[in-house]
């Protein structure tokens, strides 16, 4: 059981070569701070692509040493993204990381049909939260990529996330499919989708996890709430993964956990041909560091 984000470090095999991570538009102090920490710990080998003067101003000011790491000079953000994505596409790097560049610019490169990182799967965002009031890490998907996923989208998002959790050692993660209520109401699409996903899991159409829903947020994360409402569930109160009904609910929950509950968070983009570190501008250096670890473990 993973209880803290720092537990991720224990999962990285020191006998294996460090993953090569390419930072697109490298003149970003928070990304460089996290990258340097991961590099010094031996988790990744960085490649920096960006404006030389601005990047090295940060490196010199911080007195960072990136050893013999490759630096590629490129001032134009879109060309930075293209060079970074092409490196991953061509197998010259293992991980793509967003630097000082707008998310839409990065994603245009990722989705390029000629040299992008398409895999045929839906791209989805997976975030891990360390919350002091919960007994283990809890994952949340999707809060950043898919605006209003339909049933097929939710299946793809679920499969991306479950596959990754399996890689982390959770053989059968417990998945709560959220709705506003824990009863099926045909006027509320989220509850009917949740019921279908739950039944599909029971019939082995969705594997390597335990899915239950619809569950309201309180009974998904609280044994006491589930008991009070007489909900009999393997998932309720012990959820590993929360599947969001849409991006608005997910985004509000994400920011509520961070700003109100002071949760620590790390996140990764799944579904591409390589892991992508794509964090929010408001995410801390610590969050970016643990997000790099998530990518290194993928």
For residues 208-219, b (16+ Cβ closer than 10 Å) or e, as one string? ebbbbbbbbbeb
Query: For residues 66 and 46, is the Cβ–Cβ distance under 8 A?
Result: yes
Mean pLDDT, residues 208-222: 96
E strands in the chain: 19-24, 44-50, 70-73, 95-98, 124-130, 138-141, 174-178, 210-215, 241-243, 264-270, 276-277
Other residues' Cβ atoms within 10 Å of the Cβ of residue 225: 18
Q: What is the pLDDT of residue 283?
A: 78
Give tens-digit pLDDT for 36-45.
999 999 999 9
Predicted TM-score (pTM) of the model is 0.95
Evaluated on CA atoms 254, 260, 261, 265, the torsion sign reads positive
CA atoms of 59 and 135, how far apart (whole Å)? 38
Give tens-digit pLDDT for 157-197.
999 999 999 999 999 999 999 999 999 999 999 999 999 99
Question: Tokens representing 87?
Answer: 């490196």
Q: In the chain, what percentage of residues exceed pLDDT 90?
A: 95
Mean pLDDT, residues 74-88: 97
**Is the pLDDT confidence value at 31 over 80?**
yes
Q: In the chain, what percentage of residues exceed pLDDT 70?
A: 100
With H, G, I as helix, E, B as strand and everything else as coil, classify residue 202: helix
**Is the pLDDT confidence value at 28 over 90?**
yes
Please, which pLDDT band fits residue 280 given cuts at 50, 70 and 90? confident
Query: For residues 25 and 52, is the Cβ–Cβ distance under 8 A?
Result: no
Q: In what order do the strands lie in the sheet with 19-24?
A: 70-73, 44-50, 19-24, 95-98, 276-277, 264-270, 124-130, 138-141, 241-243, 174-178, 210-215
Mean pLDDT, residues 105-130: 96
Please, which pLDDT band fits residue 279 given cuts at 50, 70 and 90? confident
Q: What is the pLDDT of residue 1?
A: 82
Give tens-digit pLDDT for 43-56.
999 999 999 999 99
What domains can be seen in the chain, in order of their start residue?
5-119+272-297 (3.40.50.10950), 124-259 (3.40.718.10)
Q: What is the pLDDT of residue 120?
A: 93
């Amino acid at each position: 059981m993973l209880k803290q984000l720092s537990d991720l470090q224990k999962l990285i095999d020191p006998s294996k070569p460090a993953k090569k991570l390419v930072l697109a538009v490298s003149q970003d102090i928070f990304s460089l701070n996290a990258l340097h920490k991961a590099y010094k710990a031996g988790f990744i080998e960085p490649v920096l692509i960006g404006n030389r003067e601005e990047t090295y101003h940060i490196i010199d000011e911080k007195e960072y040493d990136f050893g013999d790491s490759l630096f590629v000079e490129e001032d134009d953000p879109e060309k930075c993204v293209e060079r970074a994505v092409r490196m991953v596409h061509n197998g010259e790097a293992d991980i793509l990381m967003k630097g000082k560049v707008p998310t839409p610019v990065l994603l245009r490169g990722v989705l390029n049909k000629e040299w992008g990182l398409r895999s045929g799967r839906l791209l989805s965002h997976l975030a891990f939260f360390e919350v002091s009031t919960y007994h283990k890490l809890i994952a949340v998907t999707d809060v950043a990529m898919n605006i209003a996923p339909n049933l097929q989208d939710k299946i793809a998002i679920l499969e991306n996330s479950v596959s990754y959790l399996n890689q982390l050692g959770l053989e059968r993660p417990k998945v709560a499919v959220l709705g506003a209520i824990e009863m099926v109401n045909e006027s509320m699409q989220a509850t009917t989708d949740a019921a279908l996903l739950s039944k599909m899991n029971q019939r082995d159409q969705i594997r390597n996890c335990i899915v239950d829903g619809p569950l309201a947020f309180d009974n998904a994360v609280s044994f006491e709430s589930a008991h009070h409402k007489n909900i009999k569930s393997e998932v309720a109160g012990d959820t590993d993964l929360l599947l969001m009904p849409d991006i608005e609910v997910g985004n509000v929950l994400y920011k509520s956990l961070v700003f109100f509950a002071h949760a620590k968070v790390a996140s990764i983009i799944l579904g591409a041909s390589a892991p992508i570190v794509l964090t929010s501008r408001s995410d801390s250096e610590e969050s970016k560091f643990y997000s790099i670890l998530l990518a290194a473990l993928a």
